[in-house]
Structure formats: C-alpha cells, structure tokens
Structure 1
Amino acid sequence: MDEPRCPLCGRILGTANIDRHHLVPKKFKGTEQFPIHKICHRKIHSVFTERELLDNFHSWDALRRHEDIRAFIGWVARKDPGFYARTATSRAKKMK
C-alpha cells in the first residue's frame, strides 16, 4: 500500500509533526479537514489571511500556484517528512 502524502508538498506524510488543514477556513464554516505536514500548514497560514484562503486559495492547486508556496515546496522537498522549523509571517501579510 502506498504511504499517505502531504496534499501541499507531495512528500510522504509520516507520523511526526502532522496538522489538519481546512481548505475552507473553519471561520467560514469549513468542515472538511486534510492531514498535512505541520510546516506546510504553518506556511499556508503565514502567507494568506483567512479571507484570502476562502476567496482565492481554497484548493490545493490554487495554493501550489502561488509564488511563495511554489518556492516553499521547492525548498521543503529536500527535507525529511518529520522535519519542522518555525515559519515566520510574511511581510506582505503583516502589511495588510
């Protein structure tokens, strides 16, 4: 059987540092959750506001098309599945 993979970065999910992500934020009545690496989840929320997630980035494909997320995926692809490091909030999000 194939091992589960992170829907954002595509790496094997593993068993350490796993979160759950709502493509439609809970704040906006989203209920479906997906297992995702903690570092990938933190990156999503460091780049986008809840409103941006609802309006424009409520699919894995839309998330992966964003320039910041593409760069992150390229970087994290070389890390072990259990890798975790703190994710800083982007300056663009702080300015909103």
Structure 2
Amino acid sequence: MGKIRVTEHHLIPRRYKGKETRMMHAICHRKIHATFTDQELRDHYHSFERLLAHDDIRTFVDWVRKKPPEFYAGTKMSGRRK
C-alpha cells in the first residue's frame, strides 16, 4: 500500500455513527464508495472480509494489487448505484 494516497475508511459510515476505521489506498476507498451506498456498507459490508467476498471488489483488488503503490486512476460510479 505504501504511504502515497492512503485514506481512512470508516467500516460503518460516519453518518451512522461508525467509529472504527482502517487505513487503505485511496483508489480502493473510492471503489468501495462507488460500489455501495452508505446503507449497504452499514448493513452488509462493514468488514474487510465481507467487502472482499463481493465479486466486484474481489476482482478490483486482484487487479489493483499488481499496480505500483503510487498508481491511481479515477473511479466510475457503479451502474447499480445510479
């Protein structure tokens, strides 16, 4: 992960009073929020194990893991969220 573009992710979104956080690369953080609503994160995807069990996130992590730590690209909003 390195120290470039590292952000803090609330496992349960702050708007739902989530306090527990984990540091993660910004591109992964943006992918999570582009894929899931805050309500979905609160109800179903509030741990790394659950996030990685989702096919879209697992595929993304497998892809981005091969990139250098400084890699960053824009993230498109998931079609299911629109």
Q: Same fold by TM (over 0.5)? A: yes
CA RMSD, aligned part only? 0.7
CA distance in 1, matches of 2:57, 2:21: 19
| Higher Rg | 1
Normalising by structure 2, we get a TM-score of: 0.95
Is 2:3 aligned against 1:15?
Answer: yes
* 1:58 paired residue among 46, 57, 81: 46
Percent identity, please: 48
2:81 matched to which residue of 1? 93
Residue deviations 1:18-76 (CA, integer Å, cap 9, x gap): 11100011010011221100000000000000000000000100000001101101210
Considering fraction of residues, name the structure with more helix: 2
Query: What is the Cα deviation at residue 83 of structure 1?
Result: 1.1
SS of equivalent residue, structure 1 residue 19:
strand
Is 2:30 aligned against 1:42?
Answer: yes
Q: After the TM superposition, which segments of 4 or more aligned residues of structure 1 sit over 3 Å from their partners?
A: none
Normalising by structure 1, we get a TM-score of: 0.82
* 1:83 paired residue among 43, 52, 71: 71
* 1:68 paired residue among 36, 41, 56: 56
* Gaps in structure 1 of 5+ consecutive residues: 1-12
State the number of aligned residues.
Answer: 82
* 1:30 paired residue among 18, 23, 43: 18
